[in-house]
Structure 1
Amino acid sequence: MFEFITKRSFFINLLAAIVLVFLLAFIFFSTLGIITHHGQTIQVPDIRGKNLKEASAILSKAGFDAVVRDSIYADTLSPLAVYDQAPEGGAVEKVGRTVYLTINKTVAPMVAMPELVGLTFRSAQMTLESRRLKVGDTSYQPDFATNTVLKQMLNHKPLKAGAEVPEGSAIDLVLSSGTGSIEYPVPNLVGLTYAEAREALTASNLGIGVVLTMGAVSDTAGAFVVRQSPTQVNNLGDANTVRAGQAIDLWLSSSKGAADSTAKP
């Protein structure tokens, strides 16, 4: 009799355990949809341009998680502002989904300045954009190669190619306006040092063409101009003229020598 009772108790306990397992499974699967927000969707807030802390709070309140995936530098945004998001704002997504953010860096990275001198304005603009730089102020001065870059500057100072500049910097360009329509007398450069001749040509909106040396010249800046083309006067003794932007070829020598016989007395 006791054996019968023991066996009966065991089967009752086993049955109770099975019923309990099924009951727990039923409760779990019944509430799974509530726990996981199954079937619940909502529009993703557009948080582009907002500070990271504020954007995270907005997403959390709407039922989304926020994770910073990448960073970029844009000088139009404040540091740590959201530059982009995925999914995009307005997209209908499941509650609890992760929204990946691209934020703006706090410090602009440095990039190497490209060589723009000699390029057309359009080519220079494209080159700057490829380095995440932009065109600043543009000005013009006479030169024979119309609309090409003559100088590149940052903060009104000449900027050499290869120099490190902050990403997003505005690079000022001096462009060629072409040769002028008004003709001016050719200046007499013979007897001047190369440095003096260069300053005189710049002041007259003229350029330096071919520079040749006569004999050994160790210091180009201190060498003397002994010949120029075009000369100040022609073979008939009439004054030669040039237009702004044109170039004058120079011959240099270590000694001053005699004055150019073609120079106007």
Structure 2
Amino acid sequence: MPALDQLKVKTKSVLKSITKRSFGFNLAVAVGSILLLGLLFFLSLGIITKHGDTLTVPDVYKKNVQEATMLLEKAGFNVDVRDSIYIDSIPALAVWEQTPEKGATVKVGRTIYLTINKVVPPMVAMPDLEGFTFRSAEMMLHALRLNVGDTIYKPDFATNTVLQQLLNGKPLKAGKMIPEGSNITLVLSSGTGNTENPAPDLVGLSFLEAKETLSASNLSVGIVLVDPNVTDTANAYVVKQDPMHRNNLNELNMVRAGESIDLWLSATKPVKDAGVAPPPKDSTPE
């Protein structure tokens, strides 16, 4: 008899034996089979999920990513580098953060997610901090992942405000792209001084010379009024200043460090007179 015919005969025989049994018996067999399969599944669930097999996560902070990966995989963990960040205080490609954290108890085969330090720092635009208070400037720098370097104090009327921002000792313009983690030096105002000195005589000096003179005296340029005929401000001449070097009584005007002097500029150098002569001494005979 061909094999196919034999299979048909056997199938008919099995079906015939099943149909001869009662419905209740067949139902009981089906329910029992399901319960048995369920029991086998739950008994093997612990083996499948490695229930009870736990490990303690090792500390890979500041380790090179390759070393950290080898250490974690050898301990029975999977590793996934999920993010990167730039921190100037740790080496490039060092682990900055791990999840789960060191010391955590987790199952064997758990994936440990790593955040590593970038090789090249990202560039960021330098903000304009002039006029900010020190606290506001510090918060702005930290928000951009920049650091406050040295602080230099200079007399000026606006106490504890930023007068200038420097990088590597050179003035730094707002908007210039610089690496994250750069140390920014802030020149801060220490307020006006207590000692009064004569106001410098700036009339007849070029604007550039006047600024240098004021800086040397710890004074600043106030309002600058420029004559319309001036084409080169730096080489324009100071024709008037406020406060003047001397008042109308030929007395010296006194200023304190940190104060400012207003300037009037012209393209024509002024002819300075001898000034107001001091009043003669009383020569009335006794």
Place the TM-score, normalised by the shorter chain, in its bin: 0.7 to 0.9
The offset of 1:53, in angstroms, is 1.2
Match of 1:217 in 2: 230
Match of 1:196 in 2: 209
* 3-state SS, counterpart of residue 106 of structure 1: coil
Match of 1:109 in 2: 122
Distance 1:199 1:228 in 2: 15
Distance 2:112 2:277 in 1: 79
Match of 1:86 in 2: 99
Aligned counterpart for 1:160 among listed residues 173, 183, 194? 173
The offset of 1:214, in angstroms, is 3.2
Over aligned residues, Cα RMSD in angstroms? 2.7
Contact 2:167/2:184 (8 A) holds in 1 = yes
Q: Which runs of 5+ in 1 are unaligned?
A: 15-25
The offset of 1:33, in angstroms, is 4.2
- Verify: 1:126 aligned to 2:139, yes or no: yes
**Cα shift readout 1:149-207 (whole Å, capped 9, x = no counterpart):** 11111111111111111101110111111111111111100001111111111111110
More displaced stretch, 255-264 vs 43-52: 255-264
- Verify: 1:259 aligned to 2:260, yes or no: no
**Cα shift readout 1:11-50 (whole Å, capped 9, x = no counterpart):** 9xx9xxxxxxxxxxx9998776446423311221121111
Q: Which runs of 5+ in 2 are unaligned?
A: 15-38, 279-286
* 3-state SS, counterpart of residue 67 of structure 1: strand
Match of 2:254 in 1: 241
Give the share of equivalent positions with the same residue, in percent: 59
Contact 1:63/1:95 (8 A) holds in 2 = yes
Distance 1:30 1:263 in 2: 111
Contact 1:232/1:263 (8 A) holds in 2 = no
Q: TM-score if structure 1 supplies the norm length?
A: 0.86
Distance 1:135 1:29 in 2: 60
Aligned counterpart for 2:161 among listed residues 142, 148, 171? 148
Distance verdict in 2 for CA 1:264–1:166, change over 3 Å:
farther
- Verify: 1:43 aligned to 2:47, yes or no: no
Q: How many residues align?
A: 250
Distance verdict in 2 for CA 1:153–1:260, change over 3 Å:
farther
Q: Name which one, 1 or 2, has greater alpha-carbon Rg.
A: 2
* 3-state SS, counterpart of residue 248 of structure 2: coil
Match of 2:78 in 1: 65
Distance 2:60 2:174 in 1: 39
Distance verdict in 2 for CA 1:126–1:75, change over 3 Å:
same
For 1:110, give the aligned amino acid: M
Match of 2:200 in 1: 187
